[in-house]
A = this chain, B = another copy of it.
Amino acid sequence: MPGLSFLFAGKMREPHFEAAFAEYIKRLGGYTKCEVREIAEQKLPERPSEREIAAALAREAREFEKAIPKGAYVCALCVEGEQRTSEQLARKLGELDGRGVSRLCFLVGGSYGLDEGLKKRADWRLSMSRMTFPHHLARVMLAEQVYRAYTINAGKLYHK
């Protein structure tokens, strides 16, 4: 199964989300190599303009692009992306493995999501929900779903 890179904008602040995320990454480590990197989240005023947001996301996009491993298959998380069930996600990751993808790179933006251009350039746009979740909680949800997918593909019983 492909190695994993999780690239995130901003540092985790809530110890409970950090602990939950770390638990899934630890479990994923039993299946494959995992790398987690946080790029700096651009500072914005409390009620930023559309233009300020776009400029900040563009700067973050450049940092994301520097951090994406060469040859990785890039999956951008966004609310408007493709929805899959957990089983369908597992199947997709299995297919990528079958195609010889050796590294899968997931991108999760900060409070304002990801740059439009970055999303377009990604190989795949995945949505976990039509609802908007705080990006720190979204990291936990993503790590859990990827762990679940690897467990499904390994034919193991998911530890509930």
**Footprint of B on A, CB under 8 Å?**
14-17, 19-20, 23, 46-47, 79, 83-86, 89, 111, 128-135, 137, 140-141, 144-145, 148, 157, 160
- For the complex, what is the distance from the CA of A19 to the CA of B16, rounded to whole Å? 6
A–B complex contacts, Cβ < 8 Å, 8 sampled: A16-B19, A16-B23, A83-B129, A111-B160, A129-B141, A133-B145, A134-B144, A135-B160
In-complex Cβ contact of A141 among B14, B141, B160 (8 A): B141
A29 to B: closest C-beta gap in Å: 18
Verify B133–A141 contact, CB threshold 8 A.
Answer: yes
- For the complex, what is the distance from the CA of A129 to the CA of B137, rounded to whole Å? 14
Verify A132–B148 contact, CB threshold 8 A.
Answer: yes
Residues of B within 8 A of A23 (CB): 14, 16
A22 and chain B: residue at smallest CB distance = B16
Verify A132–B85 contact, CB threshold 8 A.
Answer: yes
A1 to B: closest C-beta gap in Å: 19
A12 to B: closest C-beta gap in Å: 12
A156 to B: closest C-beta gap in Å: 12
Residues of B within 8 A of A144 (CB): 133-134, 137
Residues of B within 8 A of A83 (CB): 129-130
Residues of B within 8 A of A128 (CB): 129, 131
Going nearest first, the 7 A-B pairs with the smallest beta carbon separation are A16-B19, A16-B16, A111-B160, A16-B20, A129-B129, A86-B132, A86-B131
